[in-house]
Amino acid sequence: MKIVLASASPRRKEILELAGLAPDEIIPSDADETVPEGLTPDETVRILAKRKGEGVRPKAGEDALVISSDTVVALGNEILGKPADRDDARRMLRLLSGKKHFVYTGVYITFRNRETLFCNATEVEFYELTDGEIEAYLDTGEPFDKAGAYGIQGRGCFLVKRIDGDFFSVMGLPAAEVYRAVRAINLEMKNEE
């Protein structure tokens, strides 16, 4: 079975490799990422993950299993996407400082006439951050292409006091759930043979 990752994220590729699902091909999605206002973070990531997968599906070929996902950071129902600039990243980090928030990752897996769509929510708690810590982190350049302006797998690890849930989901792809979903598709196929 050919596995196609519908994402240019090196983290997602690495997670799939760790789960024994190394992608045979990477086809980044160019799907529109605008969503109607008023959606919950859970609804948002599900819609975007599915839209990305459906967009890549025709390019991947009919015998490819396509995995797509979307991740957002949410404080309450406020979604914190990728920061627009340094000031926006600073604002997000100050918002998250000393608080608990959720990271939502939606995953869409499609193969032939099968599809799986789910969302993983992981709670993350930040330490109380000083202005100096925030500025030092901003100086690394790491926050600018990350939802919520931080990367738990990088220098941003010093921001995080604890997590309750799937570490890999915070990185952008819940490895164990994806592995089990792909395994279920494989079992269904074998049972049909």
Helices 86-96, 131-139: inter-axial angle, 10-degree rounding: 140
What six digits make up the tokens of 145?
């292409």
Q: Please list, in sequence order, all residues whose beta carbon lies within 8 angstroms of the beta carbon of residue 19, skipping any fewer than 6 positions away.
A: 175, 176, 178, 179
Distance CA 68, CA 57 (A): 10
Q: Could you please report the per-residue DSSP string of 50-119?
A: HHHHHHHHHHH-TTEEEEEEEEEEEETTEEE-S-SSHHHHHHHHHHHTT-EEEEEEEEEEEETTEEEEEE
Q: Known catalytic residues? A: 70
The candidate with the shortest Cα–Cα distance to 152, out of 178, 170, 177, 164, is 170
Bridge-based pairing of strands 64-75 and 25-26 is unpaired
Spacing of C-alpha 3 from chain mean position: 18
